Chain A
Amino acid sequence: MSDSPILELEKVSMSFDGKQVLRDVSLILHQNETCGITGPSGCGKSTLLRIVNDLLSPISGTVRFQEKDVKEWDPQELRRRVVMVPQEAKMFPGTVRANLVWGLRVHGMAADDEQLKTILQEVQLWPIDLDGNAENLSGGQKQRVAIARALLLKPKVLLLDEPTSALDTESALAVEKTINDLLSDYKMAVLIVTHNKEQAKRFTSKIVELENLTEAS
């Protein structure tokens, strides 16, 4: 059943304090697919990712992961498979290693340094001092730790919110390539929010363009 959708959004709408942010957003994503989300600032791109990750519940509409409503998933189980790298991905207090294995640890899993090295090489962050303080990393380094941290969970759906905004083009391309390579390994789909039209064009197989609803409502 490889052609059944892995992620399905059906007429998802969202509003905050009566102010509508998303209206009837629908989307179907299969494994190996990458979908870009673009639109002006404040149009609800991050909100949409949060809804898919079940950090927010929409006011109407349905999100299905593996053909099951996200509301029926155990939230932690869902988020282990549908992992989001937030726009403002933060480092937890501690070392780079502790940050990388943070996601694994909450699910009772672990990774050895060899695995960490592999994933760090793939996001072009090797060599790095695994015992260094994560807070001392640069913005771009932190972004890559955040992506590596999510990839270590081997997600089925990877939600990326402006994941390469602090990276130079070369590193951004490397990250894109890594994710592309992992798509089939992990049988994964990617939903990526980006301001960068170039990135959306070269990296994604489809694009959802959101618009600002504030004037309309």
Chain B
Amino acid sequence: MQLDLFALLQIPEQYIGMLQRYAAAMILLAILLMVTKWQGIGIGRKLIVGTIRGTIQIILMALILVYIFALSNLIVIFGVLTFMAVFAAYTTKSNLERIPGVMRATLPGILVGALSVMATTVALQIIDWQSSPGEFIIPMGGMLIGNCMGLTTLVIDRMWSNAQKQRPLLETALALGATPKQATELSIRESIRSGLLPNLNRYASLGIVSIPGLMSGMIIGGVNPLEAAIYQVIIFIMIFLSAMIASLITSHLFLREMFNERAQLTVPPPEL
């Protein structure tokens, strides 16, 4: 009966299985939504919007990826990465909508963090990108940008909520003449550490628990497994370095949103 419907709509056979799989995954999404609702986690709307938006984005990306991978001009490739970084920064802003000035802090962080590490890797020939620059630099750069986005989001969220919840502690520090940076040092350090933790876990269990996508893709794509494995270690180091640079820049810039030029805390108390 279902198949008849597909036939009626004249959907080519090869897509039917695909759509069925997608529909089946929606059952998992429904379960996820129920659990988040039940636990009052309050990210249901974000999950739904994210699914719709993500599906459209990734389909478009899949369609143009062939062309993007074929790119060989480094300037164009880094242009694409810049676009991705801007989009990543925009995403941090929309995920932290209650916090002002997010993008002013995350955009420079993500741009510098991801692109500088990628450029260094390319310049030092740490990866063998010459054969097909697009195929190497775009997905690797994408991973760096994604991780920078994750860590900067977390750092800002922590800095903001710490400033709201620990006002008396911040005030104690400022009242002794601490700079905003000194007063928030500890919470920044903690949030960077806890933001890196999931990746550190993945790093430590590399190859045993986590079989990373990059390596799998390379092996499927015919790269020598040994080479693919080395690349996976390299990409992890690149991820840590870029995320670290991004979060340091972002946290530094975000202090300007939390304190005014008289080093007075401008973060409002938590809303009811």
Contact = CB atoms under 8 A, between A and B. Distances in A.
B264 A80 contact: no
Contact of A54 (B166, B172, B179, B264): B264
Contacts of A76: 177-179, 263
Given A86-B168, A89-B172, A90-B169, A79 B262 contact: no
A54 B172 CA distance: 13
A86 B178 contact: no
B190 to A, nearest CB: 9
19 contacts: A50-B171, A55-B171, A57-B262, A76-B177, A76-B178, A76-B263, A80-B176, A83-B176, A83-B177, A88-B168, A88-B172, A89-B172, A90-B172, A102-B173, A103-B176, A106-B176, A106-B177, A107-B177, A150-B176
A84 interface: yes
Interface string B234-272: 000000000000000000000000000011110000000
A93 B265 contact: no
A92 B178 CA distance: 13
Nearest to B190: A93
Contact of B175 (A57, A85, A92): A85
Interface residues of B, number: 18
Given A79-B177, A106-B182, A92 B169 contact: yes
Contacts of A86: 168, 171-172, 175
A56 B174 contact: no
A2 B175 CA distance: 26
Given A56-B264, A86-B175, A150-B176, 8 more contacts: A50-B171, A55-B175, A79-B174, A86-B171, A89-B172, A102-B176, A107-B177, A153-B177
B186 interface: yes
A78 to B, nearest CB: 8
Contacts of B171: 50, 55, 86, 88
Interface string A81-106: 00111101110110000000011001
B262 A92 contact: no
A50 B170 CA distance: 13
Interface string B120-146: 000000000000000000000000000
A57 B264 contact: yes
A205 to B, nearest CB: 24
Given A76-B177, A103-B177, A153-B177, A55 B172 contact: no
B265 A55 contact: yes
B177 A77 contact: yes
Q: Is the interface of A mostly helix, strand, loop or mixed?
A: mixed
Contacts of B179: 76, 106
Nearest to B171: A86
B61 to A, nearest CB: 44
A78 B263 CA distance: 11
A200 B166 CA distance: 30
B236 to A, nearest CB: 30
A71 interface: yes
B262 A54 contact: yes
B169 A79 contact: no
**Most A CB atoms within 10 A — which of B166, B169, B171?**
B171
Contacts of A102: 173, 176
A106 B185 CA distance: 11
A57 to B, nearest CB: 7
A42 interface: no
B168 A90 contact: yes
A146 B171 CA distance: 13
